[in-house]
Structure 1
Amino acid sequence: MLLATLIHRVSLPCPQVSADEAAHLLEQHYGLRGTLRSLGSQQDLNYRIDSARGRFVLKICRGDYAAVELQAQHGALNNLQTQVRVPKVIRALSGEELLTVTVNGQTVHVRVLDYIDGQPLTHLPHLGRDVIAGFGQLCGQVSHALSRFEHPGLDRTLQWDPRHAYELITHLLATLENVPHRDAIKHVAEQVDARVRPLAEHLPWQAVHMDITDDNVVWQRDAQRHWQVQGVIDFGDLVHTWRIADLSVTCAALLHHADGDPFAILPAIQAFHAVTPLQREELQALWPLILARAAVLVLSSEQQQRLDPDNAYLLKNAEHEWEIFHVATSVPVELMDAAILRCVGETVSPITSEDFAPLLPGLVGREFALIDLGVLSPHFEAGNWEQPGIDRRLLDEAAAVHGLAASRYGQYRLSRTCADSAVEPDTFPLHVELHLPHGTELEAPFGGTLRHGADGLLCVHDAQLSLRLWGVTTALKPGAVVVKGQVLGEVHAPLTVQVCRALIEPPLFCTPTRAQAWQVLCPSPAVLLGLACDAQPELDPEALLARRDASFARSQKHYYADPPRIERGWRNHLIDMQGRSYLDMLNNVAVLGHGHPRMAAVAARQWSLLNTNSRFHYAAIAEFSERLLALAPDGMDRVFLVNSGTEANDLAIRLAWAYSGGRDMLSVLEAYHGWSVAADAVSTSIADNPQALSSRPDWVHPVTAPNTYRGEFRGQDSAPHYVRSVEHNLAKIAASKRQLAGFICEPVYGNSGGISLPPGYLQQVYGLVRAQGGVCIADEVQVGYGRMGHFFWGFEEQGVVPDIITMAKGMGNGQPLGAVITRREIAEALEAEGYFFSSSGGSPVSCRIGMAVLDVMEEEKLWENAQVVGGHFKARLEQLIDRYPLVGAVHGSGFYLGLELVRDRHTLEPATEETTLLCERLRELGIFMQPTGDYLNILKIKPPMVTSKRSVDFFVDMLSKVLDEQL
C-alpha cells in the first residue's frame, strides 16, 4: 500500500490550467486582476500575480492531494508568522483559505498567498560561507518553530520523506537507462539503508518543512552587497517525520553550490546545531540522508521528465540534481560522518596502546631522527622544495647519518604546495614514512586478515582497524589470518605506515580543510610505532591574531578579516602555515619576488662584515649612489639615501622649501605620498585618510585630479582643462604674496589604479611651477624603477624631467630603502638647515642590497618581463570589458595596472562593495588582491616583477570565474 501510494504521488503531472483560465479563477473567487507570470514547480502550477492590490502567488495543485494536507500547510504558515517570515494566506471572497474547483474536467485545489520580494539563489554557482551558514540557521529556526506544531494533515505519505527513500529508489531505478548511474544509485541506497536503519528508532520526530532549499528561500542584497534572507516559501512538502530530514534537504541543495567540495556545507550544519542542537544519532544519520535525498532527486526528476517532457523547470533542475548526486558521492560516507561530528564539537575516542604489540620490535627504544618537512623547515631554501622527491631525499640523507629517520604525522608539507592553483593542496600527511635498514622485521600489532593492494600495499585489518604498509616484502598470502606478534615480513624500501579505522582506501595526504575529519579515520600510527612522531600543534590562528590586536596599534591594519598566517614566500607567491600558495598580485615592494637567494646571501655577507650609518666612510654608499645617478636623467648629480618612500617625499618637500625659500606646495587630489607630517599634508586620498580633504594645512593647495577616466574632464585631450586648476591655485598663491615651494605628483596616478595623466599635462604644469620659482617633484615610489615596462621612470611617459625624483618600494626588495635624486644646487640648499643622514637608508647593508636588486633586475631581465608579460596581462584584462558590464576600464601598463569596477559605464557609479567581495573571493581561490582608489573600486595590480605568464593567466581566469559567479 505504501509503495503504491508513493508511486502514485511521483507519477502525477502538473495540472493543466492556462494563464487565461487562472486569471478567470482569480477574478471570480478573489476579485483580483493583474498580470500573471508562470513560476516553476515540479508537480504544482504556480503563477505570480502583479495587481493593483499588490503582488501575490496563485497555487494550483491536483485534486489527488487531500485538502487536509493543504490545510496543514496553512496552519504551519500561520504558526510561523511571528518567528520566521513566510507568506500569508489570502482568503477568497467566500472567506475560505482553500478552494476546490473543476477546470477542464479536472479537480484542482486553489489558494492564494502573498508574495515575498527577493530572489532565490539557484542560479548562483557559488555561495559564500556566510550564505551557507544563513541557510543552516534559517533551517534551524524553522525546525525550532515547528517543533510543537501538530496537524492531522502532517500524517501523509510523501515521496521526499527519507523514511521511504529505500523503497522509492528501488522502484524508480528502472526509469534510469544509464546502467553505471543505476548501479551507483543502487549502491548508495544500500549504504543508506544499512546506516540509517540502526539509528531510526533514536531519531526525534516533528513537523518539518522538507524543502528549505536554494529554490525556496528568498534573498536580497543589502547596501554592502551581502545576501540577506527575506523569507521561506513553498510549504508543499510539509510532513511529520524525522527532525534531521529538514537539514538533510537543505544540505543536499547546497551541494549544487559547493564547487565540488561537500565540506562546503559544514557551516550550515554548525549554524543549524547552534539554533537547534542535534543528538549524536541525528548527526550520524545526516550524511546518509543527504545521499538518499540526492538519489531520490535524480530519480524523481527522470520519472517526472517522462511524464511531463515539456516542463522547463524540470529540465533546468535536472543538471543541478545530478551535480548534487556526484558531489555527495565523491567522498567516503565515513569521512563525511567524521566531518559532521567534528564540526559541531563531537569527539571520537583515540587509539590507545594497551592492546598492540610493537610493529618494529627490533627497534624498540632506538632513537629516530625526526625530519622537519614543514613550511618553516631549515632544509628548504630557494624553492628547492619544488624538486621532485625532495622529502624522501632529505629522509635518506638523515638516515645515512643517524641510521634511522622518520617524517612527522600531520606536519603540513611544503613540498606539496601548488602555485597558481585555486584548489587547496593536499599537504597534510596521514601517514609516517620511516627510513630503516633493509631487512628490518615487522610484526603484526594486532590480529586480523591480510590483504594485498595496489602499489605494493600490505594491509592487516580486523573489524575495527586496518594497518596499511608500503615497502614490505612478505611471504604471507592474501587472505591469510595473522595473530598479534606474528612476523609480517621485512622492510625492503622506505616504510610507509598508515592506520585507518574504516575499510576504505584513504589517501596518504589530504587537504587542510579535510584534515580534522581524516584524522578521525586515519589517526597517528605513533602508538603502533612506539615513536613520538606527531607534528607539534600550530599556534591557534585566532589566538595569534588576538595577540596582535592586543599589542600592535590598531591603525596598522591587516589584510582580510580572518587573514591566513603567512611565514614564507617564493618568487611571486606567499605560503601559509598549511602549505597553501597564494598568488601575490599586490606586493610591489618585492620586485624580485620573495625569498630570493641573492638577497639572502648579500644581506648575510654584509651583516657579517658591518652595518652602520652613512656618516662612516665605506665603499658601498659611493657605488650605490653612482648606480642610481646612472639611471637618472642628465643633470641630476646628487643622491640622498633614506629608509622609505614616506621619508623620501618628506625630504623632497624640505628640499623644495630650502631651495625656493617658500612653503606653499601644490599637490594633486586623490593622491597618497606617505605618513610623515609633511608627506601626509600633501596626501589627499580619502581612502587612506577619510579626513584628508578637511585637514590640509594652509600651505598645501590641492589641484583637481587629472583623472582621464572619471574626472571632471575625460579623455586624452583633457590636459588644458586640468591645467586651469593649477593656474587658479598659482594665482591665489601669487596674490597672497607667498612664495611657491613646489609641485608634487605621481607621474602615473597610483592610488587611482595606475591611470596615465593626460598627454602634455606635466609639461604644462612643470612650466608654470618653474616660472614661479617652484620645483617639480616626481613621486616615483610606486611607478618607477622599471615597473611600467615601457619606461623606467613614470615621468618618461609625459616627456618631462623633474627637479627631484623620489623612490623606494622595490629599491630594496623589502629592505627599508628609499632615495631622493636631484641636482647639486637643490641638494646643497638644505645645508643651511644643518646636515642630514638616514640611519638605515644609506647603511652598508641597504646599499649592498640596493645594488644587488639592480643586478638581479638586469640579469633576470625583469624590465623586459614587465614589458612583455605586463603587455599580455593588460591585453587579457581588457578582454574582460566586453564580457562583463562590471568591468569599466583597465589602467596602467607593465606590472602597474588597475582594473576599475563600475555599476554603470555612463554614470561610472563605483562598484565599491562588489570590489570588496571580489577580493575576498579571490583569496578563497588562492590570490591576494586588494582594492584601491578613493572609492575602493579599483583592483590594485602591482605584483612582483618576476610574475610569469602562467600566473597572469591564472589570475585573469580566476577573476573571470568570480565575475561569472555574479558577485
Structure 2
Amino acid sequence: MVTRSTIMDTNSFSKENAGLLDSSIRAMTHKRAAVLGDSYRLFYQNPVHLVRGRGQYVWDAQGHQYLDVYNNVASIGHCHPEVIAAVTKQMQLINTHTRYLHEGILDYTDSILATVPNAINRAMYMCTGSEANDLAIRVARAWSGGTGIIVTKEAYHGTSELTSGASPALGSGQALSSTTFLVPSPDQYRIGSATLGDWFANEVQQAIDNMAAQGIKLAGFLADSIFSSDGVMPGNPGFLNKTIDIVHANGGIFIADEVQPGFGRTGEAFWGFARHDLVPDIVTMGKPMGNGIPVSGLLAKSDVLAAFSDQIPYFNTFGGNPVSMAAAQAVLNVIREEQLQAHSLRVGEALRTELLTLKDKYECVGDVRGAGLFIGFELVTDKQSTTPDKALALRVIEALREERVLTSVAGPYGNVLKLRPPLAFQKQDIDWLVGALDRSLCRCAG
C-alpha cells in the first residue's frame, strides 16, 4: 500500500506525467529517480529546473524569472551578498570543528542570546533543524525524567529517528513513537478566537492524562508557534499561554521550534514564541539562521540543559564551525541593518490586505491568516461549510507555477497555500503575486 505524506506528496510530481514534459526535463526526472531513489519528491507536475537566485527571485535553465513565495531557508534572500562575503572570507582562513577555540562561535552566541529572554542563557550548535529538535527531545527527557512528547496532528519536526517519530506530517509510512501523543491543530478559522486558548489547553491536558493512563510521564510539548505544517495557524497573540502553564504544571518543558517562525519572519516579534509573550525552556533553530548554510542551534535555560549536559558529553563534528558561524552572524547583521523584522510586518500587512480582496471576490477563499511574511490562504468548497478543497488548491498551485510564482500547500487536507517568501520580498512584488493568484483562481475555480 502506498502511504502519503502531507508535506511531501500533496504537491508532488507524478512520473505518470513524464510523457508530457520537455525532453530535457523528462531526462532529468528519469536520472533523478534512477540515482536518488524513490524517497525524494519534486514539486509540480511540470518540475522547475532552477539554476540561479537573487533576493526573492529565482531563474530556470531557460532564463525565465520566478517569484519565490515559499523558500524560508534562504531567509533573507537568495545569494545575499553579505552572507556570501562572510562565508568566502572565513573559508579562506580556516574551517574546523568546535574542539578548538574560535571567537566566531562565541561572538555569535553573544549575539543570538541577546535576542531571547534572559532566562535562556546557553547555546549548542548542530547542522540541521532535525538535529536540533532531536537534541531538544533528549534534553527534555533528561530534565523531566519522562519520555512523552506532545505535538500537533500535522506537525513536522525533522527526519532523525526521534524527530520523525514526532512528525505525523511525514505520513502513515513513518510510524510515530509510542511515546508521541497528538493534539488537534489550533484552527481558529473553525473554532473561533474567543475560546481557542482554553480549548487548546484542554486538548493538551487530555493528552497528558492519556499518557499517565498508559504509564508514560510527560517530557515536553514541542511546537512551531505558527503551526506552519498544520496549515499556518498563528492564532491571536497569547492564546498559547494557558497551554504552556499546563505543560509546566505537569512537569514538562516547552520546546519552541523556531525553524520556520523565527528570525523576524512574523514581523510582530523576532521569535514566533515572543508573539505570545512566552519564555520557552528550549528554542531550536535550523538552516534559515544561516540563509541556507547547514547550521542549526539549540538555546536553553541553563538548569534545563544541565540535566543533560552535566551527564552526557555532546559533540557534533561540524556544528558551529567557523564558516557556518560566519554565515549565521551575517544573517543577524542583515536582519538588523535592513530592519527586516519591521519590513516583514509592514509588507506582510500590505500583502494580507490585498489577499483579503480575493477573499471578498471568490466564494472558494475561506480564510486569509498569518503574521508578517508568513500567510495561510485557505481554499474551501464554500464559505458556509468551510469544507477544505484540496483539488482546487492543487490546480491553483499548478496555475501559479505557469504564472511563474512558486509556492506550495500545507495542512492536513492540503488546501492551504503556504505563502512564505524570503524576507527580501517587497511591496512591488505584491502585484505579481496577487495578480497571478487572482488569474489562477479565476481559471481554476470556475
Is 1:705 matched up with 2:189?
no
CA shift for structure 1 position 560: 1.6
| Partner residue of 1:804 out of 273, 282, 299 | 282
| CA–CA separation in structure 1 for the residues paired with 2:437 and 2:178 | 44
1:819 is paired with a residue whose SS is: strand
1:805 is paired with a residue whose SS is: strand
Is 1:938 matched up with 2:416?
yes
Map 1:652-671 → 2, pairs under 5 A: 652-671=136-155
| 1:753–1:897 CA contact under 8 A, matched in 2 | no
| CA–CA separation in structure 1 for the residues paired with 2:238 and 2:443 | 41
Q: Which residue number corresponds to residue 579 of structure 1? A: 63
| 1:607–1:845 CA contact under 8 A, matched in 2 | yes
Is 1:545 matched up with 2:29?
yes
Q: Which residue number corresponds to residue 3 of structure 2? A: none
The unaligned stretches of length 5 or more in structure 1 are 1-223, 225-269, 272-512, 514-538
Is 1:644 matched up with 2:115?
no
CA shift for structure 1 position 703: 1.8
| 1:752–1:898 CA contact under 8 A, matched in 2 | no
| 1:581–1:926 CA contact under 8 A, matched in 2 | yes
| 2:204–2:243 CA contact under 8 A, matched in 1 | yes
| CA–CA separation in structure 1 for the residues paired with 2:53 and 2:73 | 13
Give deviations 1:335-364, integer Å, cap 9, x for gaps.
xxxxxxxxxxxxxxxxxxxxxxxxxxxxxx
Q: Which residue number corresponds to residue 84 of structure 2? A: 600
| Partner residue of 1:630 out of 93, 110, 114 | 114
| Partner residue of 1:689 out of 162, 168, 171 | 171
Is 1:900 matched up with 2:378?
yes
1:784 is paired with a residue whose SS is: coil
Q: Which residue number corresponds to residue 739 of structure 1? A: 217
| 1:719–1:759 CA contact under 8 A, matched in 2 | no
CA shift for structure 1 position 760: 4.6
| 2:396–2:444 CA contact under 8 A, matched in 1 | no
1:866–1:605 CA distance, 2 compared to 1 (3 A): same
CA shift for structure 1 position 931: 1.2
Q: Which shifted more, 851-860 or 760-769?
A: 760-769
| CA–CA separation in structure 2 for the residues paired with 1:546 and 1:966 | 30
2:59 is paired with a residue whose SS is: strand
Q: Which residue number corresponds to residue 94 of structure 2? A: 610
Q: Which residue number corresponds to residue 240 of structure 2? A: 762
1:792–1:716 CA distance, 2 compared to 1 (3 A): farther
| Partner residue of 1:831 out of 309, 314, 320 | 309
CA shift for structure 1 position 758: 5.5
Map 1:248-647 → 2, pairs under 5 A: 540-647=24-131
| CA–CA separation in structure 1 for the residues paired with 2:136 and 2:337 | 31
| CA–CA separation in structure 1 for the residues paired with 2:162 and 2:324 | 24
| 1:866–1:894 CA contact under 8 A, matched in 2 | yes
**2:96 is aligned with what amino acid?**
T
CA shift for structure 1 position 691: 4.4
| 1:816–1:840 CA contact under 8 A, matched in 2 | no
| CA–CA separation in structure 1 for the residues paired with 2:354 and 2:96 | 47
1:573–1:759 CA distance, 2 compared to 1 (3 A): closer
| CA–CA separation in structure 2 for the residues paired with 1:700 and 1:965 | 42
Q: Which residue number corresponds to residue 14 of structure 2? A: none
**2:317 is aligned with what amino acid?**
S
Map 1:899-938 → 2, pairs under 5 A: 899-938=377-416
| Partner residue of 2:431 out of 942, 949, 953 | 953
Q: Which residue number corresponds to residue 294 of structure 2? A: 816
Is 1:680 matched up with 2:164?
yes
| CA–CA separation in structure 1 for the residues paired with 2:186 and 2:217 | 24
Q: Which residue number corresponds to residue 400 of structure 1? A: none
| 2:193–2:235 CA contact under 8 A, matched in 1 | no
The unaligned stretches of length 5 or more in structure 2 are 1-10, 12-18
**1:596 is aligned with what amino acid?**
H
Structure with larger RCO (C-alpha < 8 A, sep 6+): 2
2:188 is paired with a residue whose SS is: coil
Structure showing greater radius of gyration is: 1
In angstroms, what is the RMSD of aligned CA positions?
A: 2.0
| 1:723–1:761 CA contact under 8 A, matched in 2 | no
1:643–1:789 CA distance, 2 compared to 1 (3 A): same
CA shift for structure 1 position 735: 4.2
Is 1:863 matched up with 2:341?
yes
CA shift for structure 1 position 817: 1.2
1:617 is paired with a residue whose SS is: coil
| 1:672–1:683 CA contact under 8 A, matched in 2 | yes
| CA–CA separation in structure 2 for the residues paired with 1:704 and 1:928 | 29
| CA–CA separation in structure 1 for the residues paired with 2:387 and 2:173 | 22
**2:57 is aligned with what amino acid?**
H
CA shift for structure 1 position 948: 0.8
CA shift for structure 1 position 554: 2.0
1:806 is paired with a residue whose SS is: strand
TM-score, normalised via structure 2 length? 0.91
| CA–CA separation in structure 1 for the residues paired with 2:232 and 2:86 | 32
**Deviation above 4 Å: which 4+ runs of structure 1?**
none
1:600 is paired with a residue whose SS is: helix
Q: Which residue number corresponds to residue 722 of structure 1? A: 200
**2:230 is aligned with what amino acid?**
S
| CA–CA separation in structure 1 for the residues paired with 2:437 and 2:102 | 49
2:189 is paired with a residue whose SS is: coil
**1:689 is aligned with what amino acid?**
G
| CA–CA separation in structure 2 for the residues paired with 1:704 and 1:542 | 40
1:877 is paired with a residue whose SS is: helix
Map 1:98-177 → 2, pairs under 5 A: none
Map 1:185-224 → 2, pairs under 5 A: none
| 1:744–1:776 CA contact under 8 A, matched in 2 | yes
1:737–1:919 CA distance, 2 compared to 1 (3 A): closer
1:925–1:738 CA distance, 2 compared to 1 (3 A): closer
CA shift for structure 1 position 708: 1.3
| CA–CA separation in structure 1 for the residues paired with 2:222 and 2:434 | 34
**1:775 is aligned with what amino acid?**
I
1:965 is paired with a residue whose SS is: helix
1:759–1:812 CA distance, 2 compared to 1 (3 A): closer
1:783 is paired with a residue whose SS is: coil
**2:99 is aligned with what amino acid?**
R
| CA–CA separation in structure 2 for the residues paired with 1:853 and 1:760 | 28
| CA–CA separation in structure 2 for the residues paired with 1:718 and 1:565 | 42
| 2:392–2:444 CA contact under 8 A, matched in 1 | no
Q: Which residue number corresponds to residue 134 of structure 1? A: none
Q: Which residue number corresponds to residue 443 of structure 2? A: 965
| CA–CA separation in structure 1 for the residues paired with 2:156 and 2:235 | 16
Q: Which residue number corresponds to residue 7 of structure 2? A: none
| 1:643–1:840 CA contact under 8 A, matched in 2 | yes
Identical pairs, percent? 34
**1:681 is aligned with what amino acid?**
G
1:758–1:870 CA distance, 2 compared to 1 (3 A): closer
| CA–CA separation in structure 1 for the residues paired with 2:377 and 2:323 | 37
| CA–CA separation in structure 1 for the residues paired with 2:415 and 2:245 | 34
Is 1:848 matched up with 2:326?
yes
Q: Which residue number corresponds to residue 396 of structure 1? A: none
CA shift for structure 1 position 939: 0.7
1:609 is paired with a residue whose SS is: coil
| CA–CA separation in structure 2 for the residues paired with 1:735 and 1:759 | 33
Q: Which residue number corresponds to residue 787 of structure 1? A: 265
